[in-house]
Amino acid sequence: MKFINPVANQDYRILGIEAIPAPVSNPAGLNPAAFTIDRTLWESGRSPTILVVDNSDVSRRLLRAMLRTEPYHIVEAGRASEAVIEIETQPVDLIILDLMLPETNGVDFCRWLKSNRKTQFVPVLIITSVQGVENEIMGLSAGADEFLLKPLSPALVRTRIQSLLRHKAAVDSLEEAETILFALAQAIEQRDKNTGDHCQRIATYSVALGMALGLSRPELVALYRGGYLHDIGKIAVPDHILFKRGQLTEEEWVVMRSHTTKGEEICRPMKSLGTVLPIIRNHHERWDGTGYPDCLRGEQIPLLARILQIADVYDALTSERSYKRAFPHAEAMQMIQEESTRGWRDPALVALFEELCSRASVAKPSLPPPPEWPDASPMQISLHNMSRALLQDKL
């Protein structure tokens, strides 16, 4: 999934609208119920594409006949290798595959589909004439969304397909809503010309530190997302406070600090961002309990929030701002160490981050600077490549 370039005119998706109105006219022979199957696909001007993978011409023709009254674009493949070609050449919204295939069986192919970045969220319906609950268990365990036995009931097939496509539309809507949120976060960042690619750098530092801690992939993905979304609540902070050059008044500080809870409120409806919420809310807590918004102390502060906090502080120190120069790495680390001694930062994480940066600074980058970060130092390039290699399908 990419977190940039929001889909134009899609804001209604985060308002909970579940179906588009049926077209004014009903094309002859089409099932009226099908018009609400997938609002996303109707809006995009194309019918849902269904890929049928079965080595039997008769079975493929039978399925096509069952679906002839539906607004679907049917694509056929006789074997897994042919199906892969179709998947690479066009977007597919549903895959129907037979359990018995040449080259590989349907269960193994389903497992491959669900592990492939391009098809992991595409619904898979396995059909077979082989009786036995063991086959159904294997298919569902491999990631299949539905499992039907032959002979097929046309009405049941159509109903299951409609259900799977509705689920696919819901997943697509959530993905687009996430895209909008991440684009919004980047738009907030661009309001301040001095921050540059602050989010990208924080994501890089956070993931690299998380990898050094041996965190799981979901936790690393949460850190990456947190790098972009941690300050999204600043959209609720007025510009005259957000960009004030002088010292903030106590009342203004209350508004500024509210960006943590406002950000959590913005992202809470997205269940897929559940692991990111503690980062958004608690990245301004302090190790000694003097931070905000909850005055958490020590390990009460969520680990991912503690990690991103160090990345955030480091990037703020090493980046130029309208009110300060960019501090070199050694000077920035000394200041972070002083904050750790003062009780603001997790001392163990600070020590690990310093060690990580030292190792990265002596490593020769195997790739040039990323286009979005042309002036990156060798250390920054090394950390970027490290995080990018692990999160290849998320960047």
Q: Choosing from 234, 324, 364, 394, which is the catalytic residue?
A: 234
Cβ contacts of 13-22, under 8 Å, gap ≥ 24: 13/173, 13/176, 13/177, 13/180, 14/177, 14/180, 14/269
Sort residue 132 into left (φ over 0), alpha (ψ -120 to 50) or beta. Answer: left
Choose among 254, 272, 276, 250: nearest CA to 263.
276
Phi, psi of 77 (to 5 degrees): -145, 140
- Partners of 97 in beta bridges: 53, 126
Pairing state between β 146-149 and 73-77: unpaired
Count of CB atoms situated within 10 Å of the CB of 251: 9
Closest to 259 measured CA to CA, from 238, 289, 275 = 238
**Tokens 């163990």 sit on residue:** 348
3-class DSSP state for residue 243?
coil
Query: Is 234 a catalytic site residue?
Result: yes
Nearest one of 38, 36, 34 to 68, comparing CA atoms: 34
How many Cβ atoms are within 10 Å of 170's Cβ, its own excluded? 13
Which residues does the annotation mark as catalytic?
234
